[in-house]
Every structure is written in structure tokens, then in C-alpha cells.
Structure 1
Amino acid sequence: MTELSPATAVPAALWCDRCGESVAAGPHPACAAARALEPPRWCASCRRRMKVQVVPTGWSAVCVEHGERRG
């Protein structure tokens, strides 16, 4: 059985985690500004819409492929 190293466990960000568009298309200044106050809505690795829950102490976002992120 081969174990994945942390560097290969999650692919590099290919998609904007706020709007879901390609990061190769150029900078997303409006998305970067909004991310200061909002949780991610799209998985940056696979472009799947994530299930997001916001609570007074933070947020959690779950991608069915890549798991949970918290903030």
C-alpha cells in the first residue's frame, strides 16, 4: 500500500473558491475581497459546489471529493 504525501493529497487550486471560474483566466479581485467576509462556495481543486454551514464562531465547507475545510 502506498501512502500519499501531504503535497500530493490535494491538487493545487485550479478554480476560484468563490465564483468557481478558472484561476488561469486572471486575477479575481472582487472574489479576494469578498473572501475576507465569506466562506468558500466552490472546491478549488475540483470545482464542485460545496455544502457550507456558517455559525457564529466560523464556518465549515465540505467537498464530497476533498473533505472538509474550516475557517
Structure 2
Amino acid sequence: MSRFCVHCGHEESVAGHASCTAERAVLEPPRFCPECARRMVVQVTPLGWTARCARHGEYTNEPTG
């Protein structure tokens, strides 16, 4: 099964994702679902972010509790 880049939406197996990797390093929220490459609804808060895919649910980096 293909995995997709969460920042540009292209397959991760394709070369040229250096700038996408740099985005992940600075805690930029994902824009595309890693499972299906659909554009996600992203909400950024002072504590972190949540990203929701219509098909695969929610991803988050916000602390729980």
C-alpha cells in the first residue's frame, strides 16, 4: 500500500521530499492524509494541532489529559 507525504500529497516513494521533511522537523501540521492523500481539515491551537481526514479520522499532536 502506498504512503503519501502529509505536506505535498505525493507518494513518499518518489524522490524530492527534502523540503517536506524539513517542514516536519519544525512541527508543521500535516496537510494531506498519509493513508489516502486527501486534503485534511487542520486546526492549529496554542497547544498543538489536529488534522482530520474525512475517511481516516483525526491525527493530533495536542497533549491529552
TM bracket, shorter-chain basis: 0.7 to 0.9
Q: Which residues of structure 2 form unaligned runs of 5+?
A: none
- Structure 1 residues 45-70: Cα deviation after superposition (integer angstroms, max 9, x where no partner): 10100000000000000001100000
Identity of aligned residues (%): 47
The Cα shift of 1:14 comes to 1.4
Change (3 A) 1:41 1:33: same
Question: Which residue of 19, 26, 50 maps to 1:30?
Answer: 19
Tell me which residue corresponds to 2:60: 70
The one-letter code matched in structure 1 to 2:36 is C
TM-score by length of 2: 0.83
Q: Which residues of structure 1 form unaligned runs of 5+?
A: 1-11
- Structure 1 residues 3-29: Cα deviation after superposition (integer angstroms, max 9, x where no partner): xxxxxxxxx661100011111212511
Pairwise CA RMSD: 1.4
- Pair member with larger Rg: 1
